[in-house]
Structure 1
Amino acid sequence: MWIPPEAPSNEIERLEALAQYGILDTARDERYDRIARIAAKAYAADIAFLSFVDAQQQWMKAKTSDVLHDFVARDASVCTLVISSGESLVFEDMRTAPELEGHPLARDMPWRFYASVPIRGEGSNVLGTLCIMRTDPGTPADFELETLLDLAAITSHELSLTLHNTQLREQSNTDSLTGIHNRRKLDEEMPRAIRRSTRTSTPATLLLIDLDHFKEVNDRLGHQAGDDLLARFAAFLQSFPRRPDDVLARFGGEEFALILAGTDEDGGVAVATRIIASLAKTQMPHPARGQLSASIGIAALGAADDKNSWLARADRALYLAKGLGRAALSVA
């Protein structure tokens, strides 16, 4: 009977390493698609795929057939055995393999022969797998794992380049005044948040936060004082992203954005309410209004939303909040 294997002993370190690469829920990438195509051709396989595995799911970064789902629950994945052991794995026939008896998927898939090798990141953590599958059972003549292992090593090299590029991109994605993410980073993260929400069937909510009557700060105290207040406000906001996939960014001028991963509309309202209340307690000075306040537009991600429609709904909600007066919030 199928019993999902326990996570490897270094699971926390492995997940932290995976998060460093920022690769989950990213768009298709020809570098990884190419590796999957080569694997399929080299082994005359019916399908090849390259996947990464987080705490809950296996996500296909590249695959040679759309018959295979984009993601699968980790406990229902054959590849979770590779993540657990850190070793390559071959099944001559997944339908008859004793290790897969009672497996929720293996007996019903059209593929029978299976071969998988681990994909390692820097530090040798197993981040995912490179696999081939064939509809015919039995080990093909002259089969060997060497080519698949070589392709996995190339994948690891591409991951190192990805990590390096991610670190460089972070520098260009940082707002120089406030030290938080900038609009460019927000534009990258919104589609990724949408893909993640689809993959994990979890909600996401966007907050647009605008400082009330901020022009009066610049007009009365000068732009340097305005910049100092913006930096102070950004530092204040940094306590509100709580989850690893939350994203705080300066949207532009005195406007900020906060993507709340795994958070529905009610949760977004709760966070917005805390921001408004905490800002009042902080009592940042405003030269004409006594103290600084902010208005917030809230938009939970809808099933039909893309980046532009999601952002437009949050912007409309912010416009309505501004119309209510200072320290207000509105929901799209």
Structure 2
Amino acid sequence: MTYDPIGRLLLTPVDQEAHDRVVRLRGLGLGERPEPALDVFAQQLAHLTGAPYAMVNFPDEERQFFAGLHTPRGAGGERFMDRDHGYCPHVLVRRKALVLEDVRDFPRFAGNALVDESGICSYLGAPLIDRTGMALGTVCVVDTEPRRWGRAGLDTIKSFAAELMSRIHGREDGLI
């Protein structure tokens, strides 16, 4: 985490692995274009959790990129977001799943631009950690209503992250 000159905690954590992550992702052929298979993966995650939005996110140094995206019918499908928006950067740096049943209950997260700009109220995300130990990105679901994700939600998001990493490793090994 970083601090501003007067000692307040900044909202978005510093990502020391960003450059190395981009190199690794490019080597895997990921993070530069939408992937239909990852869109299907996000759709399955949204369906299973009942969340209106689901993403497979591969951030770089400047922004977040949703290589897999599911949105409700009629909603926009913007694939890029500023790095300081949302909660995935926290998951990436923490390297741990994050459950925010109501983001407004947490001062650190309630001030995020997504709350005001998009009405996001709840978040559930897990890191995608590869066999080298690098956090490549995240899988997440969000809702505009508070959600009681509970232990079942946490187990689901972690399971989906592990499944996706198995697919990525299979792709890397030439098995898929």
Q: Does 1:14 align with 2:21?
A: yes
Number of the residue aligned with 2:160: 151
Q: CA deviation at 1:142?
A: 6.2
Aligned partners of 1:127 and 1:142: how far apart in 2?
Answer: 24
Alignment of 1:24-39 (within 5 A): 24-30=31-37, 32-39=38-45
Q: Which of 94, 114, 128 is the equivalent residue of 1:119?
A: 128
1:4 and 2:12 are equivalent in the alignment: yes
- Separation of aligned partners in 1, 2:55 and 2:111: 23
Shift in Å, 1:146: 1.3
- The answer for unaligned runs of 5 or more in structure 2 is 1-8
Mapped partners of 1:156, 1:140: distance in 2 = 22
Distance in 2, Cα, partners of 1:34 & 1:28 = 9
CA deviation after TM superposition for structure 1 residue 78, in Å: 1.8
Matched, 1:42 2:48: yes
Q: Which amino acid aligns with 2:67?
A: K
- Corresponding position: 1:71 with 2:77: no
Q: How does 1:266-285 map to 2 (within 5 A)?
A: none
| Inter-CA distance 76–27: structure 2 relative to 1 (3 Å threshold) | closer
3-state secondary structure, aligned to 2:117: coil
CA change 1:11–1:51 in 2 (3 A) is closer
Instruction: Report which of the two structures shows the higher radius of gyration computed on alpha carbons.
Output: 1
Tell me the secondary structure at the aligned position of residue 95 of structure 1: helix
Is residue 86 from structure 1 mapped to residue 95 from structure 2 by the alignment? yes
SS of aligned partner of 2:115: coil
Shift of 1:89: 0.6
Measured after TM superposition, the shift of residue 96 of structure 1 is 3.9
Q: CA deviation at 1:84?
A: 1.1
* CA 1:142–1:76: 2 relative to 1, 3 Å: closer
Counterpart-to-counterpart distance in 2, 1:142 and 1:76: 26
How far apart, in 2, do the equivalents of 1:120 and 1:28 lie? 19
How many angstroms apart in 1 are the aligned matches of 2:150 and 2:168?
32
State whether residues 124 and 141 of structure 2, in contact with CA within 8 Å, keep that contact through their aligned partners in structure 1.
yes
Give me the whole-angstrom Cα distance separating, in 2, the residues matched to 1:127 and 1:25: 13
Q: Quick check: 1:2–1:100 contact (8 Å CA) kept in 2?
A: no
Q: 1:51 to 1:137 in 2, by over 3 A?
A: same
Structure 1 counterpart of 2:58, one-letter code? F
How far does residue 104 in structure 1 lie from its aligned partner after superposition? 2.3
| Count of residues in Structure 1 that have an aligned counterpart in Structure 2 | 163
Report the CA distance between 1:161 and its aligned residue.
Answer: 2.9
Instruction: Indicate the RMSD between aligned Cα atoms, in angstroms.
Output: 2.2
**CA shift for structure 1 position 130:** 0.6
State the TM-score, normalized to the length of structure 2: 0.80
Does residue 98 of the first structure (1) align with residue 107 of the second (2)?
Answer: yes
TM-score normalised by length of structure 1: 0.45
Cα distance, 1:2 vs. partner? 5.0
Write out aligned runs for 1:201-220 (5 A). none
Where structure 1 has 5 or more consecutive residues not aligned to the other structure, the ranges are: 166-332
Equivalent in 55, 73, 78 of residue 61 of structure 2? 55
Q: CA deviation at 1:40?
A: 1.0
Contact 2:14 2:93 in 1 (8 A): yes
- Select the structure with the greater relative contact order (CA < 8 A; seq sep ≥ 6): 2
Are residues 1:161 and 2:167 paired?
A: no
1:71 is displaced (CA, Å) by 0.6
